[in-house]
A = this chain, B = another copy of it.
């Protein structure tokens, strides 16, 4: 074991640039709508959580919008951006006032000046001073205006929680302007953001190769998860994963989100099992999301990536993937009849019930999939899409076609007059315990087309080679990791 990678140093410039981008978008929006250019942006960072009634502390991970703007790893912070017509705007951090016992139990109490320098903000104060500090920055008459974060996450259907603090009643609140603008800032990635997603991809791709090398009949699925986690933490400094590892073999590979507490990667690998490993590490908040599997859906994966470029609509890419998969199932004599007719009957959703992919960044399901006014599609499969937008340069989106044999979907399809004629029931019954396959890469949309940030073995020959001990050409991987920005 070992690695050619090393965790890159992260400059807080990344978050300075993110704040500048927000400020520019916000100004643009306000002047477009002829509103006055004053007010403060205020966000509240995450708090540490204890488990139920105990003093067991869960490992803290910053709230993603706050992480995007300020990069703060500690709990209990607030951050403000004080707009100004002249300069680029001041950024203010508010740190929690820690009790003196903190020094004994949790470490040196850092000075405000430390946070100012480390996080590259204009000033730092304590979080019990928010109201007075913001009032000092205010020049006008009446109550100053706060732009607070409140809006819908279209993946969870939850709303983000606007900041709360002592003295907030001394301010006017705007709860609608900030969320769509900040969300949209996160949709198009900067060079510094792309470099981090690339590193998360590089170390995770390498860890997938390590898993392929060590997979043996008789092992437990969670042992492969452990190998992945160890590789990304040991050599990549990735303490968090982007999501709970999915290490599915045999019929478990047909469970899209396998690996949670009620299905905890605990099957023993048997000879002939299909394997589907969906695992991605996170580095300095930015994630990766990679699935390796035997390459039955590789054609769909490759067809999509060949077609991606700015202006292409994501629903069309989903439909393209479905079509390639249905054609392949027809060639395999699993489906019968005309593929166009199958498409009209939405048969693709029986074998790929999830969407083709989603935005990726600080969240695995990065926000911004539905611009205000865009309606979700109603058809099976298409309704699961986490975005239906046209591609734009700077988006990072996963391409993850899959094909599964799921009883809960196949049985109704066999019984439906719409779809039963397409299904070769004898062949399908033979594949009943096959499970499923998925191939997932993280793809950056570029001006000319797109770039696949994920470097895993994909072709049957490549995978079999790596499993047999052949070196995997880490050349591309290390080049990307070392210079970070070159793509």
Contact = CB atoms under 8 A, between A and B. Distances in A.
Contacts of A468: none
Chain A contact residues (Cβ within 8 angstroms of B): what range? 35 or more
B158 A53 contact: yes
Interface string A39-59: 000000010101111111111
B260 A156 contact: no
Interface stretch (A13-21, A402-410, A475-483): A402-410
Contacts of A138: none
Contacts of A258: 106-107
30 contacts: A46-B52, A48-B261, A52-B160, A53-B153, A54-B155, A54-B365, A55-B158, A56-B365, A59-B261, A60-B260, A61-B261, A73-B262, A74-B262, A75-B261, A103-B406, A104-B409, A105-B257, A106-B255, A106-B257, A107-B258, A107-B262, A220-B237, A223-B234, A226-B233, A226-B234, A227-B234, A229-B229, A229-B233, A230-B230, A237-B266
A460 interface: no
A272 to B, nearest CB: 21
A353 interface: yes
A206 interface: no
A170 interface: no
A104 B406 contact: yes
A225 interface: yes
A341 to B, nearest CB: 24
Contact of A222 (B63, B220, B239): B239
Interface in A358-415: 363-365, 367, 406-409
B256 A104 contact: yes
B46 A64 contact: no
B155 A55 contact: yes
Contacts of A418: none
Nearest to A407: B103
A407 B104 CA distance: 9
